[in-house]
């Protein structure tokens, strides 16, 4: 009797296990599994360029696209790049110099779209003169030391802007002040006669009396891009395509209502209220629909880096840009 009871129990357990296996293999279970949100981790510096991602998160566009997007804050580009190298994040917004430097160092990341800088006036950088310097025109900066961060997008933009205005490379003098707040302070106190700053601090400097001598509103020489790790492109290209679709929805919102997300700029990008409230000196916040960086802009960056021995190996457009994400959009 005991053996028969034991046998019945075993048969019952086996039937239950088989039922679970059948249920797991059913189309409904497969559909539920496929509907699980794809995970994407993006590194976020406190910069204006990341605004569409914060908008997409706030408005639920990632979730609507079937994505589980984690926006992870970083406070420096060095921390961001280290996280990309260690695969702690899948992507981030950065400039083309960063994309080239990471690939040169053995971290395969690809730019999949321009974020800011597709047109002049986006991703604004400005060469500014100090309030009491008397400098108003680019030619007045010949052989005048300009405060920059060396070997960075700041120095690159300084060179390109002033060369466009007719200065020769030998006439562009620079002094290194890497930290942006200290560079702003040195400019406003007259410790340096000129400095190159990104927005929003470029706009803040103008509000406080500095003068724009040259900026990217006229010359489109600086771009930021969304760079993602090669591994996620190979393993989960559809998720990255959904990510860029959600980003595009947020860009469309910003075009329709450019002043409607000041709370995010204040909270996430640390834009001073003084800048956001200014009517005389409005902060330019402009984004274009997703598009690839141009071959010319990429080559200009690579040539500049080569001239300064910042690259150990030859790189070309295909090493820095992946066209598959935007293909067919």
Binned at pLDDT 50, 70 and 90, residue 220 comes out as: confident
CA–CA dist 323, 321 (Å, integer): 6
The pLDDT score that the predictor gives to residue 322 is: 97
User: pLDDT at residue 28 above 90?
Assistant: no
The tens digit of pLDDT for each residue in 250-274 reads: 999 999 998 999 999 999 999 999 9
Q: Quick one: three-class SS letters along 151-199?
A: CCHHHHHHHHHHHHCCCCHHHCEEEECCCHHHHHHHHHCCCCCEEEEEC
As a whole number, mean pLDDT of residues 211-215 equals 97
DSSP run (H or E) holding 55: helix 51-58
The tens digit of pLDDT for each residue in 74-128 reads: 999 999 999 999 999 999 999 999 999 999 999 999 999 999 999 988 878 999 9
User: pLDDT at residue 72 above 60?
Assistant: yes
For the chain, domains (ranges, CATH) are: 34-120+223-320 (3.40.190.10), 125-215 (3.40.190.10)
Query: What would you report as the CA-atom Rg of the chain, rounded to the nearest whole angstrom?
Result: 25
User: pLDDT at residue 16 above 90?
Assistant: no
Tokens 């600086």 appear where?
A: 222
Q: What angle do CA 107, 108, 111 make, to 5 degrees?
A: 120
The tens digit of pLDDT for each residue in 160-206 reads: 999 999 999 999 999 999 999 999 999 999 999 999 999 999 999 99
User: Which among 302, 305, 268 has a CA at the least distance from the CA of 285?
Assistant: 268
The tens digit of pLDDT for each residue in 289-308 reads: 999 999 999 999 999 999 99
User: pLDDT at residue 25 above 90?
Assistant: no
As a whole number, mean pLDDT of residues 130-148 equals 97
């Amino acid at each position: 009797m005991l053996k028969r009871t034991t046998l019945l129990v075993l048969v019952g357990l086996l039937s239950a296990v088989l039922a679970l296996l059948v249920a797991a293999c059913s189309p409904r279970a497969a559909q539920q599994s496929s509907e699980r949100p794809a995970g994407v981790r993006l590194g976020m510096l406190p910069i204006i360029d990341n605004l569409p991602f914060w908008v997409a998160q706030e408005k639920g566009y990632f979730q609507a696209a079937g994505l589980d997007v984690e926006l992870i804050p970083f406070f420096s580009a060095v921390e961001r790049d280290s996280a990309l190298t260690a695969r702690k994040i899948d992507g981030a917004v950065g400039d083309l110099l960063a994309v080239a430097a990471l690939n040169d160092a053995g971290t395969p990341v690809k730019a999949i779209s321009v974020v800011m800088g597709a047109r002049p006036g986006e991703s604004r950088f400005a060469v500014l003169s100090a309030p009491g310097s008397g400098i108003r025109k680019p030619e007045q900066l010949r052989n005048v030391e300009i405060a920059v961060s060396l070997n960075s997008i700041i120095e690159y933009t300084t060179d390109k802007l002033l060369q466009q205005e007719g200065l020769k490379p030998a006439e562009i003098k620079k002094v290194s002040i890497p930290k942006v707040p200290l560079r702003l302070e040195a400019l406003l106190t007259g410790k340096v006669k000129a400095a190159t700053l990104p927005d929003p601090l470029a706009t803040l400097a103008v509000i406080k009396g500095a003068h724009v001598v040259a900026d990217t509103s006229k010359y489109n020489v600086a771009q930021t891009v969304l760079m993602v790790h090669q591994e996620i492109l190979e393993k989960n290209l559809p998720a990255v395509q959904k990510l860029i679709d959600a980003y595009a929805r947020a860009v469309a919102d910003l075009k329709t209502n450019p002043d409607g997300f000041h709370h995010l700029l204040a909270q996430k990008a640390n834009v001073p209220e003084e800048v956001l409230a200014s009517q005389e000196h409005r902060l330019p916040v402009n984004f274009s629909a997703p598009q690839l960086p141009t071959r010319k802009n990429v080559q200009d960056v690579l040539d500049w880096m080569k001239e300064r021995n910042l690259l150990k190996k030859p790189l070309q457009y295909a090493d820095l840009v992946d066209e598959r994400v935007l293909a067919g959009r």
